[in-house]
Structure formats: structure tokens, C-alpha cells
Structure 1
Amino acid sequence: MTEPEAGLAHVVAQFAAGYSFSFDDFQTDACLKLASGHGVLVAAPTGSGKTVVGEFACWLALRQGTKCFYTTPIKALSNQKFHDLVARHGADNVGLLTGDTSINSEAPIVVMTTEVLRNMIYARSRTLSGLSSVVMDEVHYLADRFRGAVWEEVILGLADSVQLVALSATVSNAEEFGEWLDEVRGEVDVVVSERRVVPLYQHVLVGRRLYDLFAGQAPTEVPLPQSRADVNPELLRLAKADARVTRDDSRRMRGRRVRGKIEARQRASGEGVIRAPRRDGAVEVLQQQNLLPAIFFIFSRQGCDQAVRQMLGSDIRLTDRAEREQLLQIAAKHVGMLTAADKRALDWDTFIEALGRGIAAHHAGLLPVFKAIVEEGFVKGLVKVVFATETLALGINMPARTVVVEKLVKYNGETHAELSPGEYTQLTGRAGRRGIDVEGHAVVFWQPGMDPRALAGLASRRTYPLKSSFAPTYNMAVNLVGSIGRVRARALLEQSFAQFQTDRRVVAMARQASRDDEQAEILWAQAECDRGDFRQYAELRDRIGALEAEAAKERKRDHRAEIAGSLTDLEAGDVFWIPAGKHQGWAAVITPAVAHQPWPTVMTAGRQIVQLADRDVTQPVTAISRVRVPKRFDVRSAADRRQLANSLAARAESLGERPVRTGRPRADAELADEIAELRAQLRVHPCHDCPDREEHARAAEQALRLTRGHERTRAKAKARAQSIANRFDRICGVLDSLGYLDGDRLTERGAMLTRIYNELDLLVAESIRDGVFDDLEVPALAAVLSSLVYESRGDQQGQMRTMPDSPSEQAQSRVRRIWRDLGIVERDNRVERTPAPDIGFADAAYQWASGVGLAAVLDSSGLPAGDFVRWVRQVIDLAGQIAQAPGTEALAPKCRQLVTVMRRDIADFAVDED
């Protein structure tokens, strides 16, 4: 070992002496690379101790008299890391910045969310002075399609002198990601560990019996080659026996008599009846085999809450008297701000009864304070069973001895899909607590039709590729142009990980195009004709077919766009004629079309409430009249339905029958003329009368298909070669058109937009510029702002909602008009349309800003408490951004007042997850 290497090893040894365990090789290796001045990407399994490397960066900054920022994706993780670092380095040396919380912000170590650092970089904050290193915990979040771009913005925006410490879950393309980091940051080394510190054993629970998944039960410490992934033959035998009871085609059970005979044979053979486990039975099995604490992953919030109620009904108790008392003390410490009415609204009695037994749920719909109680109780070993959604696997530090996966399919927002190997690895990675457990356990519930071999493949593979979700936004564009100018901004975006990955795909596409060229030349040789140039003749035929298809498609596209635009223009209360289908006739709009649900919900002339579909709207529609729709129209209320039906019937009688326009738009005349001219050329071509024409044509058509594929590949490669920069150019085109940019100069509007960090950022800015918010009282302002941050969940879409009062209704109409106008500019510049505002949270925001209590708001909104708090804070955050944006001085006092009145009670509690 050289003298410099010995010196670095001594520094790392000094740091390691502060820990109660010996460092693994990958931890020591990563720390040595940091000590040498290099950046580092550490990719290792959940629970392996990656954060030690981030903590070394903090320790080095204190030692060197510089600053280190420790960033995390969510506020709850920031809060947790803040407390960890305070315990290690003292309160004077550690700060916290999470958007709505600021503690000791100029400390040498500051923990923050990644968005906060991004905002500091754009604002050129003085807090960045003296910064030597940035830790990016959970950096694999850059694959998140909603928030992932922030990570790349930070990586590209940090000063070259800042050392980067990127901590990631195990990803299959860590080397590719590290290569990009090295390219854009310089001297970034990759340290990969696939070994689990605590070995993981895989099991299947059938009824009340636990089977090992693998023969010989080798733990999955590292990825298993297929040759080692031998499935337990007992499970294969059970699967075969189960197949006799389960239909292979539809998975429906056979008739009772047949099933009864088979089950009788199973009992007689000693196999027993093969059944899916019950949750209460599973908990008892785990308790008997000393496999608690456990996390049960259930892929729905409702399922988690239901599981807790099932446990309460089964009389299972997992705590002794002393543990119960400790849990009650933890709960009492956290909920001092809740009133008796709040507790009733939050079903506190059920929560505390389950908690006292060592049982709890954990999901995004749970109130943050409840989650804080569960997390503290679980970390202390007092909560023994947690029923959680998969979001827990991506968030805070809550390892368990055992992880239970109830089903291997989950709803992904669009369809029920099987878990990927990466998702399975992420979930089961929480099993096995370092320093507590000598081994971890993953348990999968048996389900009818389960294939143990498929499960073994899932458990033994580690395929979790990291894919960039980076895309320029309006806010990003004005910040970059304002900071470094348009040309340099464009060049910077071309350095993104998204572009890096795209460029690699372009090379592969070019190789395929070359192979297509060679095959096409062989086919053209087969198509040669002695009467003339058959290639020319084939291209004429191909051109005619393409133009005819284009004409048909254009007619269809124009017609659909016209229909979609007409539906978007409809508002609640509008009366219009449904042109086709069984609901043809007059109808009144109840819920207008929005981005996530482009079909309005209406009441028809037949007094039915339906959501329109393709078959109903074959022509554009127009609002002819209006009826009043109550702002709290309840589809289940017979009185509400009767009142609206009567109003519609009266209006329809006065309007009478309305003829429906039929037929499609005529094809473009120039296109038709061109097709006719080409057909004439085709008829006089010498190859037209060749007796072998169709035989030649078959080879020519194959050649043309390859050529077209080649051209598409080339065009796609060309587009991808500058895809990010081209999108940036189009976004700048929108900003130029609307006066936010003037060349390389930010206008006053542009300066205001730099401080609006929101998915609907430009719509917010345009609404401010239009004066939409100026005359609103605080509750109405809260309602309208909520429509610019809220996104309905799948189970909340289509709810009957209007704005809370007349001023907010008028303001929302203006916001929607601005959104439609903005959509036209975006279309002209070929930019993906800004999502539509969503008024689903408007009434709850209005009530909360008016001072209505929690119980009443939750009762009327039907929202889970956790969701309610999250959206309240989103409204507060947007109001705070507007208050601080340049050029909003007149609006700022009202926005600050909104923040004050909404940040109360549970919405002001320190624990958060966003």
C-alpha cells in the first residue's frame, strides 16, 4: 500500500470507528473513493447499509470545514435522516429544508428534499456557497415518471466542483448510469454490491403450512443461476394436485361433486386439501415460527384497512401488557393536537385498539401522524404486523424479519399486471434486519393456479433497469434560459441521462437499418421486369395506397378532433343533443370532460345518468341551452335526479327535435386530384400489362416494406438524436408566443414563471397574468388553486362536483378557457398538452380555508385523511410559490393569508411524505 493509500485508509478507519459494526467491502471501497476526491455511485440491495457512504460524505465535510447536502425523495425520509444526523453530529451541525420546514439552513450539513435543492440551484441561492458534496439518496427515483426529472436537473445543474454521492437500489444497468455520471460530472466511480447482508429465504404458505420455495433452501443472497434455482418438489406436487381442481383455461373451480371427490382423495392420500391462506392464520403461523415482525404487502389501501379489521375480529394479540403500554404512550405523544371530534372522524378507536395488539396499516391514505406512530412502534419492535401498500418499499427505513406478499399481481393504474422481478426484489428486500436478524424471510401466499417455477424465476432474477424519465418543462426552460442562455441550455439538456440512453438506442437502430437495406436489394432483383422499370411501377402503386390511407386517416382524425374539442367545451349544466346511440336526444352535462376522463357524464332525455362513449357521439356537439345543476349534485339522490330530469324535460320541450348532421367531412380536393393523376400514370406504365405483374409485385412490396421500415428507423433515429433538445425548442416556441421569453432574455412573465414549480406551471402563470385570482376571497382562492394541483385517483374519477360558490365557479370557467387557449398554442408548437385542471378537491379546500373542522370536511369529501392532508399541503405550497414569485406583489398578501389559514391542526404537523 502506498503512503497516499495508507492515508486514505486511515481516514476511513477513523470514520468507521464511530460505528458498532464492521464495514462491508463495498462500504469501505466507496468511502475510500470519496476520500480520494472522486464521486461515487453505490448500487446495493435494500437494507445493505448504503447510507453509511452518504454519512461519510457528511463527516468529511465537517472535517474539511465545507458543506454537504443530503437529499432524499420524500419529506418523511428527510425528517428521519435529519434526526439520525443530529444524533451523530449534534443539532448545531445539521439543518433541515423540506419546503415548509426550515431548521438551521446554513449548517454545514443540511438535509433536504431533492426539489428544494433544484429550486436553490435555479435561484442561485447563497446557501450553495461552500458546498463540497451532495448525497442523492434513492437516486433511482429519477425513473419516476412524475418527479424523476428533478434528479437529472440537479445532477446537471450542480457546480463542477461539487462531489456527487449517488445511492441507489440494485439496478441491472448501474454501469450504464455510472458511465453517464462520469461523463457529465467527471471522476464518478461505480460500486455495486448484489450481496444481501442478511440472507433471504423464500417460502410459500399453503393453508397453514410453510413450504420452502427452493430445494435445499439456498438463501437468495445473490442472483441465482437457473441451474441452482431448483424448485421444491413438494410444491410442484401440490401444484399438480391443485391443477386437478382448477380449470386450466378459466381458473374456475369444477363442480362441487367433482371437487368433493378430489378433495376426499387428497385427504386419503395424506396431502390434505390445498387452500389459499387466511390472513389471521398466516399471522399465527409466523408467530409460532418466530418470524415476526412482518410486513404484509397488499396492493390496495382498502385491503390494508380491511386486513386490520379482520385481525381485530380474530382476537389475535401480539403484544404483552408492557408493549401495549409503550405503544399507547407513543400514540399519546403524537396526537395532542387532535380533538375528540377529529378522533371520531379518523376512526381513532379502531386504530388504537389494533395498535395496542401490535397490528397496524401503513399507506398513503393514512394520516401522517398515524403513520409516524406506526413507524416509531415498528422500529422499536412493538408493532409486530403491518399491512402496507408497495409505497412503503420505496420510502422510509422499516425493515422486518419477514415480508409477506399476498398476490403476485397488482393494479398499475390501467390494468392488473404481474409483479416484475424488480418489484418483487424491492418488496422482499425489506426482510431481514441488519444487526438483529441472522436471516430474513419472504413468504408468498399460495393462490389457485400458482406455478412454483414462475415464482422461483421471479425470486431468483434481479432485473431492475433504471430508465430516465427526463423531459423539459416550461419552468425548467425559463430557469435555464434565464441562467445560461438558450444555446447553452440546449447543449446542457443534450447531456441528460435520457439523451445518453437514447443515443445508444440510435446506434442499434442504425445497424438494423443497414441489414434491411441489404435484404431489400435482394428482393428488388427478384422483381425485375423485361417490360420496364418495375421499381418505378411499384413505387407508383405504393404512393397511391399511401395517399388513400392518408386521406381516410385525415378525415377520421379531423372528425375525432372536432368531436373531442366540442366535448371539452361543454360545462356543467349545458344542454346539447346526443347525435347517436340508444341515448340519442337532449341531455344535460353533470360532470364535464377532463384530461383523465374525456367523456362527460350526463343525464339523458330518458332520465338516465350515463357517461358518454364513442357510439353516442358520432358528430361534434354544441351547447344549445342550460339548466341548473346543484354544486353538490348527488347521483344517488332521487330528489336531485328528479329535479334535474324535470328541468331537462322542460328545456327539451321548448327546443323540440333537432336534426343530426350526418356524413363525414369531404376529403381534401388536392389530395383527391393527386390520387387521380397517379392512377392515370399507373394505367399507361409499360409494366401495367405484364402477365407476371403480381408475382413481381409481391417481391416489390416486401422490398418497399423494408425500405419504409428503414426510412422510419432513420427518421426515428434522427429525431431521437436530438429528441430532448427538440422538445426544449418546441417548449421555448410556446414561451416565445406567450411572451415569457424574448430570445435569451426573460420577460417579467418569464421571471414570474421561474418560481412556479407545478405540473400545470404555465397554466398557473397564465391565470395569474389574466387576473383570475385577484378578486377572490381566501376560501374561493383555495378552491381554484386546488384545481391546479389536484389529481383524482382512479376510484375518485367521475364524482359529481362543481365549484363551491359563484366567484370560484366564474374563476374556474376562466381557468378552463385559458387552458383551452393554451392548448391551441401547444398544438401549434407540437407540445404535449397541459393536463386539464381537476376540481375534485375544490369543495374540501374551500371548507378547510373557511375554518371548517376536520371531521366535517372528511365527512363531506369522502377523502382518506392522508390524501386530504397531502392535497391541503399542495395548495399551501402553490400559494407560497405565487406569493414569492416576481410580479405578484398585489396577490402575495392574499396568498400568504391562505397559507396561514390552511396550515392549521393536522395540516401543520411536521411529519410528511411528499
Structure 2
Amino acid sequence: MPPSIHPVDLISALRQKHLTPAIVFLTSRRACDEAMQAFDHSEALLPPARQEAIAKVLEQVIAQYPSIAEHPLIPTVQRIGVAAHHAGHLPSWKIAVEELMRHGCLDAVFATTTLAAGVDFPARTVIITQSSIRKARDFTDLTIGEVQQIAGRAGRRGKDLVGFAIVTPSPYIDLSVLTKGLTGHPEAINSQFVITYPMVLNLLKAHPLDQMQSILAKSFAQFQLNQRAEVIEQKLDDVHRQMEPYGPRVCTDWISQWHMFDQVRRQRHHRPAVQRHEPPEVTARFHFLSTGRVVGLSKTRGVVLRQYRSKGQKSAMVTVLRPDGAITECPAAVVTDVFDRILECHEAPSYPWCTPESFDSLLETLKELPGRLPILPILVSKDDEPIPDAIVQTLGDFSCPTCPSRSACQKDYANASKLRQEQQRHMKSIQALRTSLWHRFQERIEALQKFGYLTATAQLTEAGEWARLIRIDHSLLITELIRAEAFIGGEPSLLAAVMSSIAHDDDRPGMFPRISTGLGSLLGQVRKLAESLAPYEEPPLLRADIAAVTERWIGDPTLTWIGLCKMTTMAEGDIYRLLARTLEFLSQLHGLKGTHPELAECASKAIAVLRRGVLEELP
């Protein structure tokens, strides 16, 4: 594969073939910035008339958004007619690039794939230079939907009869991923419906508890869960048909009876089984970790090849095939997600625990699975206690030794037991899918009752009346901080800094200003409270260095935007989003004027100082 085409050569070729304007999709923000730097010494300047047209459009945009007047990319944009557009730029600069593109002033825009989905930004040509995208700290293949979103930007309505999607050579591109993306069907849309504490409070404020289950049943999320349940019900019907030859014999439930007899017979002359002490979540999940099940692990996925219990300790274990072909033995507790997907796998009695044909098929299928898979909701019973392997100590309590069906039971037990286990898994899956939303809603109610936001009859308490107004992430942590009076007598800069640390969810490293002693002490209290709430709400990152950025911006009203940017390695766009999100959180606190006037006043002061400079330009 030849090396990637140099940006200057690429744009030159597009101009010669009359394929401009174009959007060139690159893998990262850094790649976009480096592409722009490649034009610093380019001699292919635009005609004076086009440079004047770009200057005129920029002048109109700058009048509305003065912050971009001295943007470092403006000279290159005017001279060459190319620009960069990614999340690291200020929203005002991205608006300027979009306006230039709409007026036909640019020949090309270097962008990340985020541009493909969120903006009406067509061009005659799109250039695909990648088959993967950076998410968090890892690269993952583009999904079918993402490839089609990118290709869908090609062709301007009313201007182009044909749009062109061009794939350029690169040593890191996988053409099979792009081919599948351009010819396949997009991934199914999955509901992102999440039951939050404010949602529960506001629903109970408007409707009685006995109407909640019917309201949840009308949601798109429950509609999709019901569809998945119907598919499993069809599988359950098939298992029922396979179970018919193993119908009732002398014992009504001969499978359970023979299992008990066989366990007692095996353990009669052995030491008692080790008592297992596993969390209810692991016990419930282990039942579904059957052969072929796709599961989520830390930073990867895999397919279960077998489940077993370790000798001695009897710990729940699974053997998992990973996408890189590695087969690992790991405790069932390390499984993070159980997906609603089972792959066909023919078991084998020895390593690698499946046939060679199955191994190759599983590995290929695992690599081709879509990025998002539906997670199987698993209901955890709080009342279940582990049942001993043998509850009967003598074989004399069983009729099996003299039963006329003994030989048939012994012969059929292995197959019938597998079918019974599959039957039970399907029944539990259906129950979980049908009731998981309501079950989650009830869990939220129980937590709100425990913390005093709801009465025993699910009526809002005085605290619940104002807590329902906090409709942001980590709402339970914030309301508990308010009830603990953590912000009483605090400075606006400290309040805003803590809100920033709660709002920020990116662990990207970098250079940041140092925090004050007061902020460090306050964040220590917030961390302790967040850890205590971990069973009820996932704690935020609570990064002190991020909080220091907001503290410095509010603590020093004379600090300029450029001065703030020089204090950190964060991109301008990231700083803007951090402060904009902080404004959103502070506005929620400002809404508590009726119940917490001192806190609302502190939030109002923080908002007034925070909303200056760049943050004044956009709503």
C-alpha cells in the first residue's frame, strides 16, 4: 500500500479534476491541524477576487463573533482557500468555516468524522482517508452508519448532479471495513433511554405510582426490549419442542430429582462442598454465561467457550475467546456486560474447548460484530440464598435405585439438563427484558426513599420537591452536597470549580494550572461523598486540574481568553465546552432561589463572571 497522499498534493489533484469543494475526513484533530500546517509554505495562492470574497464573509462573521478576529488560521484560509473544522476549535470558528463553505469560498475542509453526523455541511466530494476512528484512547473501526454518514455528505442539492466519495490510499486503511460500510445496512437504532433520579421525581410529581409501569411500557426503549423478548420467545418455543421426548416419568420433575440423586451419590464419600460466597450480581450473571455468549470485558469483548467452577474454592470461572485470538481463563466477576447475542459454537472436551471450525468462525464473527450490541438486562434477586449441592445426606431418601425409569433418566439426563438450562435462561431473559425498565424504576424509588426524597408511599418530600429541579448528570451527588451544606459561605469560584469537576467526563491528560488550598479541601469532601454514593450513582471523575481552570477563570476577572488558553494544554473548543457545561450546572443551582437563596445567589455571581469574552458570543 503506498503512503498517504500529502495534503497539498491532494487538494491540487482535486482542483485539477474539478472535484472541489471537498471535505477531507481525517483520523484526529491533530491530523487536521497538521494538514493545515502543510499549506504554510504553499505557493498555490487563490486569485485576488476569491481572497476578497473570503475576507468579506469573514468580516461579517467577525462582526458577530469578535473572538475569531485574530484566529491563527485566517491567513492560510484567505491565501489557500482551505480550512480545518473539529471539536478542538471554538464554536464561533466552526461557524465561520461553515459560512465560508456555504458561500462557496473554500476548496476543502479538513475535518474529523464528528462533522459527518451533526452539521448540514455538503460538498461535491468527500475524501475518506481512514477506516477507523479514535474513541476515548483507542481506535475502533468505523461502523456502517458512520461510513454512510461520511459518504452522504457528497453532492450539493441544486448544485451537483453527482456527488463523489473517494477513498485515498493509506498504510492504515482497511478497505473491507469501508466496502462493508458502503454496501451494508446501517446498524439498528437503539434507545438510549436512561431512568434518572430527576426523571423519577418529576414523573411521580405528575402521576401516581400505579400509573408508572404503564407509562414506561409506552416508551420506545420498552418497545425495543419487547421485540428482543419476542425473538427469545420463539427460541423458547423451539426448546419446548425439543423437551417433549423427555416428558414426565415416575417423577413429575425427573430432571431435578436425578440431578439431586447424582450429586448426593457423587459426594457421599467425599468431603462436603466448599460454601460459595459470591455477590448476587455474579451469581445471576453466571447463569447466562453459556457457550457462545458474547460478553464485555475491560476494554474488549469476547465469546464464552465454557463456564465452570474452580476446584477447591468453587469460584465461578469462564473461558473466553478474545478478538485477538487469545483464549483466557478469568473469573466471572470480570465480565462487565452480557450482550444479547449468542454465536454458534460446537463444544469440544479439551482445549480450546471448541472445534477448529467453530474457533475460526467465532473469531471471524467476533471481529465483524457491530460496535454497539444490545445488553441483556439481568435481574438480581436479593432474596436468593445459595443452595447446598446436597440437601439430602443418604441415598435411602431417593427412589432412584429401584425406579423403573432409572436407566432412561441416566441416559437422557445430559441432553435434557442442557435443554432445561437453556429453557431457564430464555425464561429469565424474557422476564428481564419485559420488566427491566420497571425494575430499574423501582430501584431508583428505593434509593430516593432511603435518602429522604420520597415517602414510603412514593410521595415527594420537601427535599424531593426541590431536588427534582436538578436535571443534570450526577444529580444525586449534587443534591446531597446541597443538603450537606457543602457550599454554604463558599466563594463563587469554588462553587463553579466543583461543578466543572463534576461535569467533566474526559480523562485526557494535559497541563493545567494549580488548584488553591480551599478548592483542594472542598474537592476532598466531594470525593468522600461521591464514593459513599457509588452503589446508587456512578461517581464522576472529579479532576482537580480541570476544576483549577474554572477557578482561575472566575477568580481573576481580568484574565483574558488567550491568557486562560496559555495556562493549559486543553484545546480552545474543549475549554469552551467545559465552561459552557459549568454554566449549565450553575443555572440549575440558580433555579433554587425559593428554597436555597444563598446558594442561588452564589451561583448567580459565578455565572455573571463566567459568562464573559468568548462565552458571551453564543447562547
TM-score bin (small chain): 0.7 to 0.9
Out of 523, 548, 552, the position equivalent to 1:843 is: 548
Q: Is the 8 A contact 2:141 2:177 kept in 1?
A: no
User: Structure 2 counterpart of 1:324, which letter?
Assistant: Q
Residues 427-826 of structure 1 aligned to structure 2 (within 5 Å):
427-448=150-171, 455-522=178-245, 536-541=257-262, 551=276, 553-554=278-279, 674-675=388-389, 677=391, 680-681=393-394, 699-742=412-455, 743-793=457-507, 795-796=508-509, 804-824=515-535, 826=536
- Counterpart CA distance in 2 for 1:741 and 1:535 is 44
CA offset digits 1:558-609 (Å, max 9, x no partner): 9xxxxxxxxxxxxxxxxxxxxxxxxxxxxxxxxxxxxxxxxxxxxxxxxxxx
The answer to whether the aligner puts 1:873 opposite 2:587 as a matched pair is no
The answer to whether the aligner puts 1:279 opposite 2:7 as a matched pair is yes
- TM-score normalised to structure 1 length: 0.51
Q: Unaligned regions of 5+ residues in structure 2, if any?
A: 284-329, 331-383
Residues 689/478 of structure 1: CA separation in 2 closer, same or farther (3 Å cut): same
Q: Is the 8 A contact 1:491 1:725 kept in 2?
A: no
Q: Is the 8 A contact 1:299 1:389 kept in 2?
A: yes
Give how far 1:807 is off. Answer: 2.3
Q: Is the 8 A contact 1:401 1:440 kept in 2?
A: yes
- Counterpart CA distance in 1 for 2:78 and 2:273 is 68
Q: Which secondary structure state, in structure 2, belongs to the residue aligned with residue 411 of structure 1?
A: strand
- Counterpart CA distance in 1 for 2:239 and 2:603 is 61
Q: Is the 8 A contact 2:511 2:568 kept in 1?
A: no
Give how far 1:548 is off. Answer: 6.4
Residues 895/275 of structure 1: CA separation in 2 closer, same or farther (3 Å cut): closer
Give how far 1:482 is off. Answer: 1.0
The answer to whether the aligner puts 1:331 opposite 2:58 as a matched pair is yes
Q: Is the 8 A contact 2:73 2:83 kept in 1?
A: no
Deviates more, 1:512-521 or 1:443-452: 443-452
- Counterpart CA distance in 2 for 1:718 and 1:416 is 36
- Counterpart CA distance in 1 for 2:595 and 2:546 is 28
Deviates more, 1:850-859 or 1:291-300: 850-859
Out of 611, 616, 619, the position equivalent to 1:903 is: 611
Q: Is the 8 A contact 1:792 1:840 kept in 2?
A: no
Q: Is the 8 A contact 1:474 1:731 kept in 2?
A: yes
- Counterpart CA distance in 1 for 2:244 and 2:37 is 70
CA offset digits 1:391-414 (Å, max 9, x no partner): 111222211010111111223336
The answer to whether the aligner puts 1:853 opposite 2:560 as a matched pair is yes
- TM-score normalised to structure 2 length: 0.73
Q: Which secondary structure state, in structure 1, belongs to the residue aligned with residue 27 of structure 2?
A: coil
Q: Percent identity?
A: 25
- Counterpart CA distance in 2 for 1:860 and 1:781 is 21
Q: Is the 8 A contact 2:142 2:177 kept in 1?
A: no
Q: Which secondary structure state, in structure 1, belongs to the residue aligned with residue 40 of structure 2?
A: helix
User: Structure 1 counterpart of 2:565, which letter?
Assistant: L
Give how far 1:522 is off. Answer: 3.6
Give how far 1:687 is off. Answer: 5.8
- Counterpart CA distance in 2 for 1:293 and 1:363 is 18
- Counterpart CA distance in 2 for 1:310 and 1:455 is 27
Give how far 1:724 is off. Answer: 1.5
User: Structure 2 counterpart of 1:844, which letter?
Assistant: V
Q: Which secondary structure state, in structure 2, belongs to the residue aligned with residue 311 of structure 1?
A: coil
Q: Is the 8 A contact 1:299 1:410 kept in 2?
A: yes
Corresponding pairs, count: 509
Q: Which secondary structure state, in structure 2, belongs to the residue aligned with residue 701 of structure 1?
A: helix
Give how far 1:316 is off. Answer: 4.2
Q: Unaligned regions of 5+ residues in structure 1, if any?
A: 1-241, 243-273, 559-613, 615-669, 827-831
Give how far 1:334 is off. Answer: 4.0
Q: Which secondary structure state, in structure 2, belongs to the residue aligned with residue 348 of structure 1?
A: coil
Give how far 1:363 is off. Answer: 1.0
Q: Is the 8 A contact 1:478 1:754 kept in 2?
A: yes
Residues 450/889 of structure 1: CA separation in 2 closer, same or farther (3 Å cut): closer
- Counterpart CA distance in 2 for 1:698 and 1:465 is 44
Q: Is the 8 A contact 1:782 1:898 kept in 2?
A: yes
Q: Which secondary structure state, in structure 1, belongs to the residue aligned with residue 578 of structure 2?
A: helix
Residues 822/838 of structure 1: CA separation in 2 closer, same or farther (3 Å cut): same
- Counterpart CA distance in 1 for 2:228 and 2:605 is 51
Q: Is the 8 A contact 2:513 2:568 kept in 1?
A: no
Q: Which secondary structure state, in structure 2, belongs to the residue aligned with residue 837 of structure 1?
A: coil
Q: Which secondary structure state, in structure 1, belongs to the residue aligned with residue 72 of structure 2?
A: helix
- Counterpart CA distance in 2 for 1:719 and 1:371 is 45
- Counterpart CA distance in 1 for 2:178 and 2:562 is 45
CA offset digits 1:167-190 (Å, max 9, x no partner): xxxxxxxxxxxxxxxxxxxxxxxx
Give how far 1:439 is off. Answer: 1.1
